[in-house]
């Protein structure tokens, strides 16, 4: 049996953008055993992925060389036939080399590529395509290396839960917060975990207020670890729009299910946004114009009709979103997702 180690050991959003790659790899080689090397905080998500057979935790330590030796030992004992680094760093690449993996595929990235023996030049820094496509290119590179015929890629959703479970959760949310059945339930996630530029609390409050005037909607303002202060600040600025603040305390999978039970997810470029994309939930995302952080580079993996992105028109605002016109955004969101659209459906669940 072919044993493949796939590395995507960075943040939640980055990992979710690798799901089309896991799907393609498993579709192409269904008999292979695919292991994902991930940090502990994305491991619960990896365990939910249908195309990942095993999860190997990358327990990063502060000491550089002992950490690499420990990682290489953990990799070596599994006897992988090859590795595919969707995210490449010197530390991980060196560990793969020390582990004795014969075929080590990855992007031709700076020093890290020295320890790989089959690389693909990608120039990701130019941000000419979405991150998930850069990931897929590496899987396709391996398929071409084998001279195999490419299978048809998987379409969204990439993550799903049972219809009964999501129906039950939706009904429970409606009952708990006295939300009428004809109301849209919209999640607004103001935090980014410190990983991305985002709208201000005033802008989020204005956006919620505007959408609340345009359609019958109830808002859930969500907060991950260390994000409650910003979500609460948004809530305090909102008047006459029904909403509540939800602090995620019951784990990432529970949060995924809450996202799955809603009609729309709004945020900056952050991990939960890409979870919503994997669920094929309609998403609205706000991005800066900085080349490494654009809406193209960090495009979500839901279908085209289910995503809407905004960036400042002024390139001088590449490090902030102050120039975004919230009134225009509100109207575009309403026209795309709510005008003459049916009530909540479960096309993205089993």
Q: What is the pLDDT of residue 345?
A: 60
Q: What is the pLDDT of residue 61?
A: 76
How does DSSP assign 316-347, residue by residue?
Answer: GGTT--TT--HHHHHHHHHHHHTTTPPS---T
CATH of domain 163-337: 3.40.50.2000
Q: Which residue, among 113, 50, 118, has the nearest Cα to 81 in the 3D structure?
A: 118
Q: How far is CA 158 from CA 70, 100, 138, 155, in A?
A: 32, 32, 19, 7
Q: What is the pLDDT of residue 317?
A: 60
Average pLDDT over residues 279-291: 95
Model confidence at 315: pLDDT above 80: no
- Residue that wins the pLDDT comparison between 80 and 316: 80
The DSSP output letter for 249 is: -
Give tens-digit pLDDT for 114-123.
999 999 999 9
Q: What is the pLDDT of residue 318?
A: 64
Q: What is the pLDDT of residue 152?
A: 87
Q: What is the 3-state secondary structure (H, E, C) of 191-221?
A: CCCCCCCCCCHHHHHHHHHHHHHHCCEEEEE
Q: What is the pLDDT of residue 314?
A: 72
Q: Are 62 and 68 in contact (CB under 8 A)?
A: no
Give tens-digit pLDDT for 128-181.
999 999 999 999 999 999 999 999 889 999 999 999 999 999 999 999 999 999
Q: What is the pLDDT of residue 160?
A: 98
Rounded Cα gap, residues 291 and 289, in angstroms:
6
Domains 3-145 and 163-337 in one fold: yes
Residue 101, C-beta contacts closer than 8 angstroms, at least 6 positions apart: 5, 75, 80, 81, 82, 83
| Residue 193 pLDDT level (bands cut at 50, 70, 90) | confident
Give tens-digit pLDDT for 1-48.
999 999 999 999 999 999 999 999 999 999 999 999 999 999 999 999
Torsion of CA 13, 18, 22, 23, to 10 degrees: 90
Q: How many CA atoms lie within 13 A of 140 on its CB side?
A: 12
Give tens-digit pLDDT for 121-140.
999 999 999 999 999 999 99
Model confidence at 346: pLDDT above 60: no
Residues of the chain above pLDDT 90, percent? 85
- Backbone dihedral angles phi then psi of residue 54, each to the nearest 5 degrees: -140, 155
Q: What is the pLDDT of residue 210?
A: 98
**Domain range list for the chain:** 3-145, 163-337
Model confidence at 316: pLDDT above 60: no
Query: Mean of the per-residue pLDDT values for the chain?
Result: 94
Rounded Cα gap, residues 184 and 67, in angstroms:
48
CATH fold, domain 3-145, is Rossmann fold (3.40.50)
Q: Which residue, among 196, 92, 318, 272, has the nearest Cα to 264 in the 3D structure?
A: 272
Model confidence at 287: pLDDT above 90: yes
| Alpha helices (H) in the chain, listed in sequence order | 12-16, 19-28, 43-48, 64-76, 90-98, 131-145, 163-176, 201-214, 228-236, 252-260, 271-278, 326-337
Rounded Cα gap, residues 134 and 132, in angstroms:
5
Q: What is the pLDDT of residue 13?
A: 97
């Amino acid at each position: 049996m072919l044993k493949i180690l796939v590395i995507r050991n960075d943040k939640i959003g980055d990992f979710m953008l690798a799901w089309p790659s896991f799907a393609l790899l498993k579709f192409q080689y269904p008999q292979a055993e695919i292991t994902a090397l991930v940090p502990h905080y994305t491991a619960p998500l990896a365990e939910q992925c249908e195309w990942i057979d095993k999860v190997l935790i990358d327990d990063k330590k502060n000491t550089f060389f002992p950490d690499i030796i420990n990682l290489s030992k953990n990799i070596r004992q599994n006897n992988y036939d090859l590795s595919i680094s969707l995210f490449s760093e010197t530390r991980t690449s060196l560990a793969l080399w020390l582990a004795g993996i014969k075929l080590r595929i990855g992007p031709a990235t700076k020093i890290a590529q020295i320890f790989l023996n089959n690389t693909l030049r990608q120039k990701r820094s130019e941000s000419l395509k979405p991150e998930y496509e850069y990931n897929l290119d590496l899987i396709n590179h391996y398929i071409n290396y084998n001279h195999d015929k490419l299978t048809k890629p998987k379409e969204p959703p990439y993550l799903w839960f049972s219809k009964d479970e999501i129906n039950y959760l939706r009904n429970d949310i409606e009952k708990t917060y006295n939300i009428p059945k004809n109301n849209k339930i919209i999640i607004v996630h103001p935090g980014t975990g410190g990983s991305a530029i985002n709208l201000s609390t005033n802008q989020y409050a204005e956006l919620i207020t505007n959408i609340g005037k345009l359609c019958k909607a109830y808002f859930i303002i969500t907060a991950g670890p260390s994000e409650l202060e910003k979500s609460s600040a948004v809530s305090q600025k909102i008047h006459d729009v029904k909403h509540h603040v939800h602090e995620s305390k019951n784990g990432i999978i529970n949060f995924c299910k809450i996202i799955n039970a809603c009609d729309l997810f709004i945020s900056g470029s952050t991990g939960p946004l890409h979870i919503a994309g994997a669920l094929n939930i309609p998403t609205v995302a706000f991005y800066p114009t900085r080349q490494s952080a654009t809406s193209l580079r960090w495009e979500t993996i839901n279908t085209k009709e289910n995503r809407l992105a905004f960036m400042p028109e002024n390139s001088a605002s590449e490090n902030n979103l102050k120039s975004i016109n919230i009134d225009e955004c509100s109207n575009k969101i309403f026209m795309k997702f709510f005008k003459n659209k049916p009530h909540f459906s479960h096309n993205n669940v089993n």
